[in-house]
Structure formats: structure tokens, C-alpha cells
Amino acid sequence: MGFSHFFLRRVIRPGDRVIDATCGRGQDTLFLAGLVGSCGEVWAFDVQEEALAETAERLRSAGCSPWVNLVHAGHESLASYVREPVRAVVFNLGYLPGDRAGLVTRPDTTLLALDQSVRLLLPGGMVVLAIYTGHQGGDEEAACVEAWASGLSSREFNVWKSRQLNRSDSAPYVVIVGKVPPGK
Ligand SMILES: C[S@@+](CC[C@H](N)C(=O)[O-])C[C@H]1O[C@@H](n2cnc3c(N)ncnc32)[C@H](O)[C@@H]1O
């Protein structure tokens, strides 16, 4: 989503460590790999082997594979793979377009992953979520994410929600959680 990428471009620097929590076909993974460059590190998670295989091919074609770790596991276990602080975490919730299995992200695992993400976040870093509500369970997941984000300390985090006013209520929207740098 262009809006998410606008913010990610502003915070991510070459050499950073970042996470794609929902790698899918790898569009965001490739975007992140481009921002951190060969001195950086991307961790990308998905529960679908096919999605990871497609992402691996996309990265290989672009020459970015060496600094991307593709993990076949749910993002709810991301902290057992990523042990060092990260500049950004990206979530693209919902289902993979065209996926016949219809596998969607779920509130319980999404919230576990979000808790782990904010703990890993560097000061000045951000978690960016693209939220979809047009599928079954989407409204419930969106409400859980918003309740979670609303409960974060305003001394530690800036939390924004952004919707497009000229699109329907079921159009995807963005939630951003930014970790306040010390002294700000
Ligand atoms: C909207 S798609 C992501 C699209 C992706 N950003 C892209 O550029 O293609 C959501 C993805 O989340 C994955 N997913 C669902 N539950 C997951 C979980 N617990 N952990 C990690 N990925 C999960 C799905 O398999 C699907 O590929």
C-alpha cells in the first residue's frame, strides 16, 4: 500500500533490521529489502509454503535473497527468531488475493505478534499495519487491533489511524505505531 510505504521510507535506513510479519507474495518483503540494502537484514514470516516460495523467487530475481530470512512460521513466534531490535515491522492483514485456501490472519495470533513487535522496536521505529475488513472475521480483527493500539502508553508510543475519506467503509486502512525516541 502506497501510504504505508511512504512512512516506511522515512524511517528505514540502509543497514537496518526489519520484519515483514505477513510476507505473502513478497511485495512488501522486496520493498523492505530494497530499503535496508545488503548491509541490512529482513525477516519475513508466513504460514503458507507457497507464499514463501513465490517470495523467494521474487527476491532471487531482484538479487536480494542474501539479506532476507524467510521463515515458514506464524508471526506469533517472531520473537523466538528475531532476537535483536528492529527499525520497523510491517503487517498486511487479511488474506492473500487469489489464495484458494482462503487462509486469513487471526486476532489472537496477530495480537501476540504485535506485542512482540513493539518490544523489539527501536526508539523512532514503527509498526505499520494495513487492515482489511471486507472478509469474514476482518471486522473483528480490526476491532482487536484498534483496541490493542489504543491501550498503548502515549508516553512511549504515538499511534495513528488513517482512512481514505473517498472510499467505502470496507476499504483497507492503515494503523501506525511509532515508538517515541528518548527525550521527545
Ligand atoms: C494480505 S496477505 C500479505 C500480502 C503480502 N504483504 C504481499 O505483499 O503479497 C496476508 C498473509 O498473511 C499470511 N498469514 C496468515 N496468518 C499468518 C500468521 N499467523 N503468521 C504469518 N503469516 C500469516 C497469509 O498466509 C498471507 O500470505
Does residue 22 line the site of ligand 1, with CB under 6 A? Answer: yes
Q: What is the mean pLDDT of residues 55-70?
A: 98
Q: Is residue 140 part of a domain?
A: yes
Q: 74 C-alpha vs ligand 1 centroid, how far in Å? A: 9
Predicted structure pTM score: 0.96
Q: How many CB atoms lie within 10 A of CB 129?
A: 26
Q: Is residue 8 part of a domain?
A: yes
From the alpha carbon of 106, which atom of ligand 1 is closest? 16
- Do 28 and 92 form a contact (C-beta atoms < 8 A)? yes
From the alpha carbon of 130, which atom of ligand 1 is closest? 1
Share of the chain above pLDDT 90, in %: 87
Q: What is the pLDDT of residues 105-151, one digit of tens each?
A: 999 999 999 999 999 999 999 999 999 998 889 999 999 999 999 99
CA 180 to chain CA centroid, nearest Å: 19
Q: Tell me how far apart the alpha carbons of residues 96 and 6 are, in angstroms, rounded to a whole number.
A: 22
Q: 151 C-alpha vs ligand 1 centroid, how far in Å? A: 25
Q: What is the pLDDT of residue 125?
A: 98
Does residue 48 line the site of ligand 1, with CB under 6 A? Answer: yes
Mean residue pLDDT of the chain comes to 95
**For position 10, which CATH number holds?**
3.40.50.150
Does residue 172 line the site of ligand 1, with CB under 6 A? Answer: no
Predicted confidence (pLDDT) at residue 1 exceeds the cutoff of 70: no
Q: Is residue 184 part of a domain?
A: no
Q: Tell me how far apart the alpha carbons of residues 79 and 75 are, in angstroms, rounded to a whole number.
A: 8
Q: Is residue 58 part of a domain?
A: yes
Q: What is the pLDDT of residue 122?
A: 98
Q: 184 C-alpha vs ligand 1 centroid, how far in Å? A: 34
Q: What is the pLDDT of residue 135?
A: 86
Closest by Cα among 40, 13, 12, 46 to 27? 46
pLDDT band of 42, cuts 50, 70, 90: very high
Number of folded domains in the chain? 1
- Do 84 and 121 form a contact (C-beta atoms < 8 A)? no
Domain that holds residue 122: 2-179
Q: 182 C-alpha vs ligand 1 centroid, how far in Å? A: 33
pLDDT band of 98, cuts 50, 70, 90: confident
